[in-house]
Structure 1
Amino acid sequence: MSIPSQQKVPDIIKTYRPAKHFPSTPSSETKNGTPSHNASTQPHITSLDFDDTGDYLVSADSADNMTVYDIKAGTKTKTIPSKKYGIHLARFTHHSRQVLFASTKQDDSLRLLELHNESFVRYFTAHTAAVTSVALSPGSDNFLSCGADDLVCLWDTNSRSPQGKLKLVTPYLAAYDPSATVMAIASQSTQSILLYDVRNFDKAPFATFDMADGERKYCPSTQARAWTKLEFSNDGKYILLGTDYHGHFLLDSFEGKIEAFLVGKTDGSGRAAPVSTSGKPLGQGDVCFSQDGRYVIGGTGAQDLLVWDANLASGGTLEPMVKLQSRGMRNPVVQMNPRYNMLATADTKVVMWLPGDQVKNQDT
């Protein structure tokens, strides 16, 4: 599967098509990838993440498997079960052969896995309830974790003890800005986004963006719940606050002004927002920025993908500029490649998308 690297995002953003897809690993499948005769219903993919180079993708699924994909070859390279501890929010560190993930069984610790020999490098223990968000610093080996225990922890991957802790009210989502000097924490029950100076982690936030008026205006029936994603654009200009069903907020990252409410979704993603008791499969949000920060790509709630152009934001609702056809597949998990013009989506299958002129084989 060829990967374009030179085309400008505006030139190809409207042309993405599914190029290849991979069913998730059935829970009864053996470790070497051979299905048993009693292979179960396909599990749901709960998270996706690309490494820094854009060459590899890692997924986690509801059957407690981690799967690694080679992007250039368009192949699965390894499936690693985590039946004892469970797995969610699998994230590459800056060391491409290491993956960090949150446990969903036994305890609520995070684990750092070495992919080459499938051994654990380190456990990170502090949370006493489910981890709801994991964010890697773009500039160091630090990372943030949020939990249903109302804790935010700042970690260094080289130490099993947190470098700092914050006790907040429902701090379920976290993100670093591109400079790695600011961290944002989304507290859905207080309807606010808190900005902290990373160097003064233990001090009060230097800014608080109040989302109450925006929620009352655009999604009054789901106020203070169903926040699913928090992300800075790569140019540092915007913050994306993803929600389930109604749409997503695009904020000015310096003043917190709502630049647009992104509409066009027709249904919920079918995935649980953090600490939801709905019984739905876990997820990481169905929306993300393009590499240049100009576009937002997200699921419709049913099928297909929507693309919004932030340059058209005018302070009100913003309709999608294009709908990308997904050939009947749902897309409750969406992630953009940081280096190449490709993206990945997932439900019970991981789907690799390429610009239309690069899609050479759709028979997968």
Structure 2
Amino acid sequence: MSAAETTTAKVPPTRQAPSPGSTGTPGKKTGRTSRNGTAAAPWALLAPCLLVLVLVLGYPLVRLVTLSFQDFGKSQLWGFKETTTVGLANFTKLFSDGEFWAVVVRTILFAAGAVIFTMVIGMMIALLLQKVAGWVKILINVALIASWGMPIVVSTTVFKWMFDTDYGVLNYLLDKLPGVDMNGHNWFASGPQGLAVIMLLVVWGAVPFVVITLSAGLTQVPKELEEAARLDGAGAIKVFRYVTLPILKPIIVMLTTLSLIWDMGVFPQVFVMRNGHPEAEFQLLTTYSYDKAFVVNDYSGGSAIALVTVLLLLGVVAVYMRQMLKIGEVE
């Protein structure tokens, strides 16, 4: 090979300068396009779900808000009178009604009590499931899922029979205890006692979900941390408080919020337990709104009560979101 040929072979090929607007790498997308595509992907995946929510919940919610600011009763429903806008008159009338505030307080106390009992009982059962044999855990989980899957009307009917005045199995068993006379005892003679029975029904139906979720969360607690705490002299209570509980905090916050939303929206348990006609001392916001709208035929008043209930639940959701954001910042 001649010197000229050797020199020519060693000269690298000339690289062309990138044209204006190009990235300099052929076949590679720009960073802006990639970021836009990444940002649009979640919305594209959520679009079907958002569309269904708008179709299923959008119109009822808009109609609820509209009725809350109108005078709409049976005459307007049948077309005998025209619907008129009354502004805040429905809410003014509602907030000046002492019965409404009694129902609000009763609903909050009922929901708070149900949530506390649900979380405490659920946590205790979940912790006990970590200590039993595998086959026992399977049997308990099957029983929990079976009770959780039972229709509300069926479970309510069973509870009605258990607490029946004349043929209730609970009265029969308690009457066998020495010094206890429960023959013919009416559990629904007073509001607090009857609501306690309904609360027990709500807790019974909610505990399986809490137990299964907490059991799954307990499997994520590192055993090394618990063993290290025990070696340092911590007892079972301190291990749970300072090791287990902080790890389970996101799950507990989620379960507490969901339970509070569900328990504030309790309707079929009260409605079926009181044979479709809940007395005044058994009224919660859901049944009170129903009676106002479909028993008294004051649809605008019932809508105002339902709208206030929705706003209360949105407040619960706002607190939940704030807590979750705090947990995310700490992590």
Q: TM-score range by the shorter chain?
A: under 0.3
More strand by share: 1
Using CA pairs under 8 Å that are at least 6 residues apart, name the structure with larger relative contact order, 1 or 2. 2
Greater gyration radius: 2
